[in-house]
Amino acid sequence: MVKITEVEWVENAIGRKVPKRIGNEELFPYEGPFAHRPHKDHKYGPKLDYMADQTSEIVSTLSEAIDKVGLKDEMTISFHHHFRNGDMVMNMVLEEIEKKGIKDLVLAPSSTFPCQEETIIRCVKNGTIARIEGGSARGEIGRMVSTGKYLGHPMKIRSHGGRVRAIEAGDIKIDVAFIGAPSSDELGNLNGVNGPSACGTINFAFVDARFADHVIAITDHLVEYPNFPMSISQELVDYVVVVDKIGDPNKIASGELRITNSPTRLKIAKDAVRIADLLGYVKDGMSFQAGAGGISLAFTEFLHQEMKEKGIVARWAQGGTTKFLVDMLKDGSVHKLITGQAFDTVAIESMRNDPKDHVDLPIGAYANIHGKGCTVNKLDIVVLGASEVDVDFNVNTATLSSGLVAEPVGGHSDTAAGSDLCIITIPLFRGRYPVVVDRCTTVVTPGETVDVIVTERGITINPRRTDLLEKLAKVKIPRDLRICTIQELQKMADEITGGRVEPNWGDEIVALIEYRDGTIIDTVRNVLPKYYDDAIFVDRDDINDLERREN
Amino acid sequence: MRLRRSRLYVPGNNPKMIPPAGLYGADVISLDLEDAVGPEYKIDARMLVSEALKVVDFGPSVEVTVRINPLSTEWGRWDIKQIVCEKLDGIYIPKVETPEDVIQVDELVTELEDKKGLPMGRIKLFATMETAKGILNAHEIARCSGRLEGITIGGEDLTADLGGERSSDGIAIHTARQLIVLAAKAAGIQAIDTVYSDFKDMDGLRKETNMVRIMGYDGKACIHPSQIEVIHEAFNPKPEEIVQAVKVMNAIKVAKERGSGVIALGSKMIDRPIVLKAEKMLSRARAAELYIPTIEEIMQGDNGSDQNGKKGGGDD
């Protein structure tokens, strides 16, 4: 692992020290949300292939497919996370690779889930995996990263849009993409809407398919040629492997997501709707994104009620889609839905039955800053969570206050930068840990891109948004909506919890937080053992917030 | 008298629920030492509540009260001794059957205010009648203490005492509800209704709250923060009622200016009860910080589009 004393440091635009280079790799310090231009002229190009007279790409076993694409030591393999905690593909593939004795691979998934932890950790320990290129790391994998013991190279943590950028730029060169496909035909036309392991969309894998040298599709539902819709088309797929089962449907999507019962969180969600309304954002033709975390679901529900009461219709909504958004589509409160991931069975059904108004998009079209257009830039409102927010409005969504890498960053920094009104909804404290702090343990989303923070004890507007403050000065603020400064919030949090405690950092760099444009916004060091078992989350609501917050 | 539309019960033995209790917009919070707390936790809860009263900032506008155990139990007297402090606004006394039950508390609180150097008489009392005997003595109870600002009815216990059944129309305690409101108003204090215990059934809550408001009640207890908004909606004057009240008050003003003794609004004569009702309506609207349009705005609205309804939307 790389010691902090072995690298040369430079201060980036938000005052965080980041390495200038690690090994042979030159790094770019964060310059501002839209400042950094692509550092390469052209997109990375994958291998050309030759399959002129081929009429079927089916191979009988996974092992054979791996042999055929010529997977070797030190190559990079990738996976998508649409099967969420019901995924069987990654474990299946890694086990096969272990058997072949291939070593030192780079694992580059779009995200990981608890069901893969055991296999990944074993593969890291036995040398099959030498490095992880995020995506995100959470749970036990995050803990492993934070020990600094097993991986030879710092993990890069990227947003959804940032991962697409990195692949297109060739920062991540995928040798073999393994794509779990809920349905496929014999030439590898793939989609996520049909089959027993349907997950709605497989568009996180789109960039992998386009830029990997080789693509192996793994399906449990082989259909007659041609398979419609062709979400990922045959021109990108080398081989198709048919197996018994690629996912556990009960864990791929939740049957029924419930709105939190916590009065505090309900208040936060309701107040977020009220402040958006007071600021004039709840209006005809609006667009918004709110995820599937406890507060976000409640936000969507309260927004829906408000819109119905006032007869407001939104143009579109996007994000991890759920029943709550589908309900809005059905009753005409929103014209169109764009799905990044489908979180429940209702969303998956809706994608299957309503392909005209409920669509998915490649993640690059959703959030890639170095693409030629992305939907986040057209968002009016986004509602996001956080593990910490500081007085500069910087947001941490990657580590806990104890410094452990533990949370998925998802599309946080992408949507914050793109949207016009980025609302962070958080409790002021969790257990005895303050959430509004003087300085974030780790920065993922820069304060310049964050506009409003809503807590149960007060709402604050980023002073950079003078336009919002002017708007607010002109409206009557209801008595129970307390508007205050971020410093006041931080003071309140400190008084209740006793303040933030600096993590017990070691002297190794275990992760780099890469901003969506490829620059480095922050560095994460290893955490010394006494903090490993520090339990930060004291109740189910906190855990729910984090578990579901992925998009 | 202050606005007491909603009164939120908070279990006195739950350290997680007490600190945020003031955040949900309730007019009153009642930290509960009685029914929400099992016998084995009574003393813990008392310590927790008395500490919370000292250190938790419940916010500037909420009335902070404690529901104590009855004085007839081993806990009641000690509850009062420990909770009386600067930040306590009021005490709810459960299972009151006679004026003595209130007077004893009054005397003890007076003694403690004196001993602790607190302003005399600031801590208000509220009596809950939840037995047939208590209900029939309500008239005497309501007049027995200068600290008493309201009386309430305990629906569950009363129904049990009567041997009746709880039903959606509340028929078993209907007369009791009327006796309570009569006793309260005769004594010039507030009447506050019992809880609606199914906190997911908002329609049922709305219906019941509207019913007790029509009966003359000033507020209603609640067991979940999500009930507060519905209760406030029901007790708040409606936009059209506010408009009507503004028109009445304007008609009075105009008549006075003209020196006319007879006052009419449209085709209706305005008499004293109508004026009193309008005054009450406006003072309630002001207390709830509702939007009150000026007479010019109303006239404009009447002549042009129908803006009254929209503008009057409550922002509570």
What was the pLDDT predicted at A135? 76
Task: Fill in the DSSP letter of residue A227.
Answer: P
Scored b (16 or more CB within 10 A) or e, B144-183 reads: bbebbbbbbbbbebbbebeeeeeeeebebbeebbebbbbb
Domains of chain A and CATH, by start: 263-548 (3.40.1080.10)
CB contact under 8 A, B20 and A263: yes
Report the residue of B9, B18, B24, B310 to disrupt the A interface, i.e. the one with the largest count of A CBs within 10 Å.
B24
Mean pLDDT of A50-65: 89
User: How much is the pTM?
Assistant: 0.89
Contact B289 A478 (CB under 8 A): yes
Strands A21-22 and A17-19: unpaired
Read off the tokens for A274: 């009220």
- State ipTM: 0.80
Listed as own residue / partner, the contacts of B271-274 with beta carbons closer than 8 Å and 24 or more positions apart are: B274/B248
What is the reported pLDDT for A257? 79
Give the per-residue pLDDT at A538: 39
The whole-number pLDDT of residue B265 equals: 80
* Partner-chain contact B316 A457, CB within 8 Å: no
Task: Give yes or no for A542 touching B (CB within 8 A).
Answer: no
Residue of B89, B59, B63, B25 lying closest to B289 (CA atoms): B25
Residuewise pLDDT in 10s, chain B (316 residues):
799 999 999 999 999 899 999 999 999 999 999 999 999 999 999 999 999 999 999 988 899 999 999 999 999 999 999 999 999 999 999 999 999 999 999 999 999 999 999 999 999 999 999 999 999 999 999 999 999 999 999 999 999 999 999 888 889 999 999 999 999 999 999 999 999 989 899 999 999 999 999 999 999 999 999 999 999 999 999 999 999 999 999 888 888 888 776 777 877 888 888 888 899 899 989 888 888 999 988 888 776 544 444 433 333 3
Amino acid A530: pLDDT: 57
Residue A544: pLDDT over 70? no
Contact B226 A496 (CB under 8 A): no
Which pLDDT does position B307 carry in this prediction? Answer: 41
The secondary element (H helix, E strand) that includes residue A365 is helix A363-367
Residue A478 has its nearest CB partner, among B23, B226, B316, at: B316
Percent share of chain A, pLDDT over 70: 96
Determine the residue among B8, B9, B17, B23 to mutate to test chain A binding: the one whose Cβ has the most chain A Cβ atoms within 10 Å: B23
**Predicted pLDDT at A50:** 80
C-alpha distance from A405 to closest chain B C-alpha (Å): 27
Beta strand A183-184 with A190-191 is antiparallel
Chain B: closest CA distance from residue A268 (Å):
10
Q: Check CB contact of A266 with chain B, cutoff 8 Å.
A: yes
Is residue A451 within 8 Å of A477, Cβ to Cβ? Answer: no
* pLDDT of A535 over the 70 cut: no
Tokens 């029914």 found at: B35
Instruction: List pLDDT tens digits, range A290-334.
Output: 978 889 999 999 999 999 999 999 999 999 999 999 999 999 999
Q: Which of B23, B25, B315 sits opposite A264 (nearest CB)?
A: B23
Q: Report which DSSP code applies to B41.
A: G
**Interface touch B225/A266, C-beta < 8 Å:** yes
Where residue A543 falls (left for φ over 0; alpha for ψ -120 to 50; beta otherwise) is: alpha
Contact list in A for residue B224 (CB cut-off 8 A) is 263
Judge whether A264 is closer than 8 Å to chain B, CB to CB: yes
| Residue in chain B nearest A310 by alpha carbon | B310
Q: What mean pLDDT comes out for the span A465-494?
A: 94
Q: Which two tokens stand for residue A67?
A: 């042999």
> Which residue ranges make up each domain of chain B?
6-235, 239-311
Contacts of A18 (CB under 8 A, 6+ apart): A9, A10, A11, A12, A27, A29, A30, A512, A520, A521, A522, A523
Residue A547, pLDDT score: 43
First to last CA, chain B: 19
Q: State the pLDDT at residue B291.
A: 87
In this prediction, residue A522 carries a pLDDT of 98
Specify whether the CB–CB gap between A254 and A343 falls below 8 A: yes
Tokens standing for residue A361: 């998009």
Nearest to A263 among B24, B289, B291 (CB): B24
pLDDT band (50, 70, 90) for residue A250 = very high
CA distance A377 to A22: 32
pLDDT of A106-159, one tens digit each? 999 999 999 999 999 999 999 999 999 977 788 889 989 998 888 889 999 999
Cβ atoms of A444 and A395 within 8 Å: the answer is yes
- Give the residue on B whose Cα is nearest the Cα of A267: B24
Confidence category of residue A550, pLDDT binned at 50, 70, 90: very low
Considering the segment(s) B6-235 as one domain, its CATH architecture is: Alpha-Beta Barrel (3.20)
- Please provide the average confidence, as pLDDT, over all residues in chain A: 92
Confidence label for A448 from pLDDT (cuts 50, 70 and 90): very high
So what's the pLDDT on residue B299? 86
